[in-house]
């Protein structure tokens, strides 16, 4: 959320600058600094579009639910099933590894207890 706010503030900073300058001395903008004025207004417009464009990637990076929905639009059903089966297989392997490690620890504890008796 901080990144979304930061991009919004950054993109509107130029717009606030230009609007303030227009309010204070519009004549100097049109006559003395017209090329700078045109460049700044174009830059302000492009920054506003860029801020809007960056919102979805920011949300995707920080929200698992949105990331899943968006990725679901671009990934085929077959790829999702394959990924799901791989992740479930990895969960099974991880569970088996944990069980094996726990058994080894318990057996070592039992051996150390029996050797002390």
Q: What angle do CA 4, 72, 51 make, to 5 degrees?
A: 20
pLDDT at position 39 over 70: yes
Please report the pLDDT score of residue 82 as a whole number: 60
Q: What angle do CA 25, 23, 47 make, to 5 degrees?
A: 105
Instruction: Give the whole-angstrom CA distance, residue 84 versus residue 90.
Output: 10
Instruction: Give the whole-angstrom CA distance, residue 41 versus residue 66.
Output: 33
Please report the pLDDT score of residue 15 as a whole number: 86
pTM: 0.54
pLDDT at position 110 over 80: no
Between 44 and 7, name the one with better pLDDT: 44
What percentage of residues in the chain have a pLDDT greater than 70?
69
**Domain parsing of the chain, residue ranges:** 1-74, 77-117
Residue 25 Ramachandran class (φ > 0 left, ψ -120 to 50 alpha, else beta): beta
């Amino acid at each position: 959320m901080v990144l979304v706010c930061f991009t919004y503030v950054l993109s509107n900073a130029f717009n606030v600058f230009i609007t303030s300058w227009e309010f204070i001395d519009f004549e100097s903008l049109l006559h003395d600094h017209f090329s700078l004025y045109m460049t700044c207004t174009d830059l302000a417009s492009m920054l506003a579009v860029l801020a809007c464009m960056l919102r979805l990637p920011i949300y995707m990076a920080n929200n698992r639910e949105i990331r899943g929905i968006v990725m679901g639009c671009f990934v085929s059903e077959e790829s999702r099933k394959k990924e799901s089966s791989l992740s479930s297989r990895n969960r099974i392997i991880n569970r088996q590894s944990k069980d094996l490690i726990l058994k080894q620890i318990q057996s070592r504890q039992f051996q150390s207890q029996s050797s002390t008796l």
